[in-house]
Amino acid sequence: MTLDPTEPVIRIHGLTKAFGEREVLRGVDLDVRPAENVVVLGRSGSGKSVLIKILIGLLKPDQGETIVLGHNVHRLRTRALNALRRRVGFSFQNSALYDSMNVKQNLEFPLLMNTKGLQAGEVRDRVHDALEQVGLAHALLQMPSELSGGQRKRIGIARTLILRPEIVLYDEPTAGLDPVTSAEINELINQVQHKYHSASIIITHDLTCARTTGDRVAMLIDGTMLRIGSFDEVFATDDPRVAGFYKYNFMQPPEQQ
Amino acid sequence: MPPKPRRRTVVIARGVDSFFTGVYDGARFFGSFLLEAVRPPFHLREIIRQCYEVGVRSIPLITLTGFITGIVFTKQSRPSLAAFGATSWLPSLITVALLRSLAPLITALICAGKVGSSIGAELGSMKVTEQIEAMEVSAINPFKYLVVTRTIATTFMVPSLMIYCCFVGMTGSYLNVHGNEATSLAAFLKSGFSTITYLDVASSVSKSFVFGLTIGIIACYKGYNATSGTEGVGRAANASVVLAMFIVFIEEILIVQIVHWLRT
């Protein structure tokens, strides 16, 4: 399917999702344009991760539409959904590396399972490229248990990139990392956007990450997108829910910086 | 203070509901296995790797248990047979006992404990650390890659291990018989196999296939549906062993009954 380059690659409309009595998403709307990084900010448990899990078809919404690369995700049959998933990368909060495989095998696995007739040399080159991109070419034969938190995140992102996705979904990419490693991950997210021209949704509650990586920021509060715009636009408000979020990230309001 | 009758009724109703929900989910899981097992791709390399994990890595334990069972069973049976001057029946008694019941059960129980807990813990840990979801988002069918391959491996490896267990059990028994009665190997084998029928072999092998399938599917089901973090992983591993052993015993009773009907 050929896509109009001006059309959003992700279109979320009226998305609702509840777990039992607890309504997590209440009519979420969001568009993501090609090669755009959109950061979804929100408190822990606000439904940010649920949102991207719905986008990739891991969860089903109660209502609403999610159109990804022109496909309504929840109307797709398994084969079509898998074809779509090959075009969308997902970087997990805890990296979700396969701990029975070394770094090389972790990267080769999705490639070999999804690409038939790939020559050994090509597999090697693509693994090497992905590792170079995240600056961990030397870690090829290490096991996930031997890697630091930041390295695991990088390998997780490399595994996401191995299938050369058009969209990358990052779930809390800087959670649990020190400020220096977080800054490196933020830089990596920007590099991925520039090199692969991929669109991204970055789920985070880290304002530094939001400011560094986001072309636009969407504030998810009480199950709805309260504010969408540039970082400064989103926080230029007296709404105590937004201001409070800012305050407790230990930063000064934008106008004071 | 004992619970009020009404509260007790609620607890019982919840228990019954949870039991039937579990049975339904388990049946669906088994149905999915049957469906996915015959659909390509077959992940042969992973099946072979799992066969190695289940089969080859269980050999030391099966060897030890089978060998000791052969010796101990022979030693324990000797006084009773000696009272009737029938120690020459020892080889056939041991062979029949090993093939019909001891080897299939020993193998199944060892595999339920060793392999079942290992699969339950491995899949449970993959579930709670989102590795199964990571496969899904990479367009890999985790059910097929993890559940089907492991269950096929246990289904084929448990009968193979059972035959091996019979062999080492008979070896243990022969060494004991040879040491006490100076019976030659040829005489031991001749006497041992004289009472064995095709039905004995067929029923034991088929029984082991059923046990292997049961162990694999239960361990995968418990691991694949693990929840609640690391505590859930431990619970999945434990439940895999307990439930598999319980069902193996029930199957043993049913199959013995069926074979008895076929024999008569």
* CA angle B70–B74–B77, rounded 5-degree value: 140
- Please check whether residue A79 is in contact with residue A11, taking contact to mean a CB–CB distance below 8 angstroms: no
Put simply, the answer to whether B134 touches A109 (Cβ < 8 Å) is: no
Q: In what order do the strands lie in the sheet with A224-229?
A: A88-91, A167-171, A199-204, A37-41, A216-221, A224-229
Q: How close does chain A come to B128, measured CA to CA in Å?
A: 10
Mean pLDDT of all residues in B140-161 = 97
Instruction: Please check whether residue A131 lies inside any domain of the structure.
Output: no
The answer to whether A92 contacts B134, with C-beta atoms less than 8 Å apart, is yes
Residue A23 lies in a domain: yes
Cβ–Cβ < 8 Å for A217, A42: no
DSSP string, chain A: ----TTS-SEEEEEEEEEETTEEEEEEEEEEE-TT-EEEEE--TTSSHHHHHHHHTTSS--SEEEEEETTEEGGG--HHHHHHHHTTEEEE-TT----TTS-HHHHHHHHHHHH-TT--HHHHHHHHHHHHHHTT-GGGTT--GGGS-HHHHHHHHHHHHHTT--SEEEEESTTTT--HHHHHHHHHHHHHHHHHH--EEEEEES-HHHHHHH-SEEEEEETTEEEEEESHHHHHSS--HHHHHHHHTTT---GGG-
Choose the closest CB to B130 out of A85, A96, A159. A96
How does pLDDT run across B200-231, given as a tens digit for each residue?
999 999 999 999 999 999 999 999 999 878 88
Inside any domain, residue A256: no
Residue A118 resides in a domain: no
Model pLDDT, residue A4? 63
Q: Which residue has the tokens 């089903």?
A: A60
pLDDT at position A256 is 47
Which residues of chain A, if any, have pLDDT below 50?
256-257
- What is this structure's pTM? 0.88
CATH number of the domain that residue A29 is part of: 3.40.50.300
Please enumerate in sequence order all residues whose Cβ is within 8 A of that of A182, keeping only pairs 6 or more positions apart, or say none: A174, A206, A208, A209
Within a domain: residue A91?
yes
Output the pLDDT for position B51: 97
Give B139→chain A minimum CA distance, Å. 5
Average pLDDT over chain A, rounded to an integer = 89
Q: B165-181: buried (b, 16+ CB within 10 Å) or exposed (e) per residue?
A: bbbbbbbbbbebbeeee
Q: Is residue A1 part of a domain?
A: no
Residues of B in contact with A175 (CB under 8 A): none
* Model confidence pLDDT, tens digit, residues A83-106: 999 999 999 999 999 999 999 999
pLDDT of residue A242: 81
A46: domain range? 10-95+168-250
Give tens-digit pLDDT for B94-135.
999 999 999 999 999 999 999 999 999 999 999 999 999 999
Would you call B130 and A94 a contact, using CB atoms and an 8 Å cutoff? yes
Residue A43's pLDDT is 85
Evaluate whether residue A204 is within a structural domain. Answer: yes
Q: What integer pLDDT is reported at residue B231 of this predicted model? A: 87
Residues B4-21 pLDDT 10s: 667 888 889 898 998 899
Question: Strand locations in chain B, DSSP E?
Answer: none
| From A58, A96, A110, residue closest to B140, measured CB to CB | A110
Q: Is residue A68 part of a domain?
A: yes
How many domains are contained in chain A?
1
